[in-house]
Amino acid sequence: MIEKILVLGSNGQIGTELVTALRNTYGENNVVACDIRRPDYDIKNSGPFEFVNVLEKDILNNIFQKYKPTQVYLLAALLSATGEQNPKLAWDLNMNGLLNILDLAITYKTAKVYWPSSIAVFGPNSPKVNTPQYCVMDPNTVYGISKLAGERWCEYYNQKFGLDVRSIRYPGLISWKAAPGGGTTDYAIHIFHDALTKGSYASFLNAETELPMMYMDDAIRGTIQLMDAESSKISIRSSYNFGGVSFTPEVLATEIKKHIPDFNLTYKDNDPRQEIANSWPRSIDDSFAQQDWGWKPEFDLSKMTVDMLKNLQNKS
């Protein structure tokens, strides 16, 4: 069967890299990038692109009608920090965007749907260290609430309608190709840019804030690995815990200093993102992902730091 894949939210931090990876595997014309913004690349000389707002169901319907996708990746979302600035929009986009796609996937018999969840589904009363797949979940951001509700909807559509929907709870994703979009973990990307351009960085999270993170190469590989797994192997239809590497701003700065010895890290006070970070896990137990579909990250802190600095240097 020839796959036809829609990626909604294709210009974001994940979409930018996922579209390339999928086009390398499935062919340029079989992966349709969709976003509300024009992509940076030349549309005419790349694969297909459609302007789509996931809240406009009629237009979405036309896209499903036109391409009859076998796989859909829904990445469009408002993240934790920007979500708090506009809670109603975050809820609307994150929730109704998902419901629109789940409904259309049923109507058009889409074989597989991918939707990302996040460590933001956990909250102040969730265990902080090696946070298990199943535990207290009391998110206190609109983003986290929408992701937790979305997980329940994914499982519901799987159980009630047999939809093959798959999901991962992403940690903070570190990448150099596209800018991050309004998350609490974004400091871990800005720090690399500022280390190279200014030799210093003022972190909005404090020195001890340990959070689960992952290099984008691992995240893309894991996402495609989950989507390629036999359906019978997927025991979780809400969303999988997904582990990479955990570190604090201080530990990351120490690693960067191995390459830029004069790098200086300072800290800003009173940033609202600190409270969000305090409510999230420090590390993740992803044994279900390991057992069900063989998940194993390849990038530790040192390998990630080398790759980030090399690529950002080459880019400039």
For the segment 252-291, give every residue that binds ligand AKB (CB under 6 A): none
Comparison of 47 and 281: residue with beta carbon closer to ligand AKB: 281
Dmax over Cα atoms in the chain, in whole Å?
Answer: 58
170 binds ligand AKB (CB under 6 A): yes
Q: Which residues pair with 208 in a beta bridge?
A: none
Question: What are the tokens at 298?
Answer: 């390849």
* Residue (of 113, 128, 308) closest to 208 by Cα position: 128
248 binds ligand AKB (CB under 6 A): no
Query: Could you give the C-alpha distances from 201 to 66, 168, 172, 270, 304, in angstroms and in order?
Result: 47, 31, 18, 16, 18
Comparison of 50 and 84: residue with beta carbon closer to ligand AKB: 84
Comparison of 118 and 158: residue with beta carbon closer to ligand AKB: 118
Comparison of 171 and 243: residue with beta carbon closer to ligand AKB: 171
Comparison of 110 and 223: residue with beta carbon closer to ligand AKB: 223
9 binds ligand AKB (CB under 6 A): no
183 binds ligand AKB (CB under 6 A): yes
Between 138 and 167, how does the x/- string for binding to ligand AKB read (CB under 6 A)? -----x------------------------
Shortest CB 17 distance to ligand AKB, Å: 14
Residues with a known catalytic role? 143
Helix (H) or strand (E) holding 212: strand 211-215
C-alpha 243/C-alpha 287 separation (Å) is 9
Total of chain residues touching ligand AKB, rule CB under 6 A: 12
Of 184, 209, 239, 248, the one binding ligand AKB by CB under 6 A: 184
172 binds ligand AKB (CB under 6 A): yes
Are the CB atoms for 191 and 249 separated by under 8 Å?
yes
The residue behind tokens 């797994």 is 229
Between 199 and 228, how does the x/- string for binding to ligand AKB read (CB under 6 A)? ------------------------------
**Could you count the other beta carbons within 10 Å of the beta carbon of residue 167?**
26
Are the CB atoms for 102 and 157 separated by under 8 Å?
yes
Comparison of 67 and 176: residue with beta carbon closer to ligand AKB: 176
Q: What is the 3-state secondary structure (H, E, C) of 20-72?
A: HHHHHHHCHHHEEEEECCCCCCCHHHCCCEEECCCCCHHHHHHHHHHHCCCEE
> Three-class SS of residue 299?
coil
Separation of CA 252 from chain center: 20
Of 79, 189, 196, 234, the one binding ligand AKB by CB under 6 A: 79
Amino acid identity, residue 99? L
Q: At 161, give phi and psi (nearest 5°).
A: -120, 0
80 binds ligand AKB (CB under 6 A): yes
Amino acid identity, residue 307? D
Shortest CB 30 distance to ligand AKB, Å: 28
Between 109 and 138, how does the x/- string for binding to ligand AKB read (CB under 6 A)? ---------xxx------------------
Shortest CB 173 distance to ligand AKB, Å: 6
Q: Which residues lie near ligand AKB (CB under 6 A)? A: 79-80, 118-120, 143, 170-172, 183-185
